[in-house]
Structure 1
């Protein structure tokens, strides 16, 4: 992890019955709240990504190249009732079509890529640390990112990125948490990562 560079945070755009994607709402709220490490404000770059496989292929490498983030966290919504941090992402099978009705070629993220990529971050440690910082939301480890755009972007970033990367799944807003509660929960996740990962350098 570089000590320089911003934190890159992405949320997804609308899909299916999610006319407003809660992940993007939460990311925008966190951008307003801010993130600190050792009492210093850390710059954030936020980006809304369309729920489109081709958009992920095009935009993710550009975001890494342009911003050279010290940390990257992608987010999305799920059926979970807790915040879930994903342990790894698989290269296939991405069969469900995106909002344009398309699937990736051969239903995989990267031709010839590893079966899966696993984050270098100690996910259980981050969950434990984030849960100790606050009581409004529960943060748990997950080992199934869903074989859709959420897992797809996670694999893509782990494949092309050069700094620690995570994917965080949020419940639907209001089921049970408000967007503000989840933004604060995400803040604690990010700050726990910064405290643990930066201290290794």
Structure 2
């Protein structure tokens, strides 16, 4: 079970490429095995703080993949980790957390359990026609804030993908295809990890 989160409009992004890409992915689907739930998240710290935990409770997903737009991105970017501190930018309702952090007392940084380098290599080798890269800094705004919150709740069973704005250079359809390929690789890696754990338990 997976669900996807794409962000709503903010700043100059009146049409958010991440939400367009997620809707394209929904059209394509991930095969009959995967139950795909899609949510659009307002660009607001307090909404993220209540919505993300409620989605985890409701669905107990195998993996959560968040998708956000980055005006600086020119590739589809896989984020390796979320960071707890440094949230000074005001959100769509002109709010930022007093503590400037996601989870008071939480670790500074949480890595995804998914090996993003491996996902990147596999998707690149598949000849998708969309450039994919890996990053260690999700930007200390709502994307990073959401990712850290999700990683904290899921013990690392989350991923974050940044997409470039539409037409710079990819269309919504291109981004949807890229998301499908990326998430299929992520699920494959999770599957392999589960099997390995299962085998180890079996032999002990």
TM-score by length of 2: 0.91
> Contact conserved, 2:110 with 2:156, CA < 8 A, in 1?
no
1:24 to 9, 13, 19: 19
In structure 1, which of residues 50, 59, 66 is the aligned counterpart of residue 58 of structure 2?
66
Q: Hey, what does 1:178 align to over in structure 2?
A: 171
Match of 2:92 among 86, 99, 103: 99
* 1:121-136 alignment, distance < 5 Å: 121-136=114-129
Q: CA separation in 2, counterparts of 1:138 and 1:28?
A: 20
Aligned position for 1:3: none
Q: Give the number of aligned pairs.
A: 193
Structure number, greater radius of gyration? 2
Tell me what 1:47 maps to.
39
Q: Structure 2 unaligned runs (5+)?
A: 196-204
The 8 Å contact of residues 76 and 162 in structure 2, kept in 1 or not, is answered as: yes
Structure 1 residue runs of 5 or longer lacking an equivalent are 1-5
Aligned partners of 2:22, 2:138: CA distance in 1, in Å? 19
SS at the partner of 1:89?
strand
Mapped partners of 1:114, 1:51: distance in 2: 23
Q: Does 1:85 align with 2:78?
A: yes
Partner of 2:6: 11
Distance 1:197 1:60 in 2: 21
Does the Cα contact within 8 Å between 1:87 and 1:119 map onto a contact in 2? yes
**Which deviates further from its counterpart, 182-191 or 163-172?**
163-172
Residues 111 and 156, structure 2, Cα contact 8 Å, conserved in 1: no
Q: CA deviation at 1:162?
A: 4.8
Choose the corresponding residue for 1:158, options 136, 146, 151. 151
Contact 1:70–1:163 under 8 Å retained in 2? no
Q: Give the match's secondary structure for 2:151.
A: helix
- For 1:33, which of 28, 46, 60 is the aligned residue? 28
Which of structure 1's runs of 4+ aligned residues deviate more than 4 A?
A: none
| Maintained 8 Å contact 2:112/2:156 | no
SS of corresponding position for 1:167? strand
Deviation at 1:194, TM superposition (A): 1.5
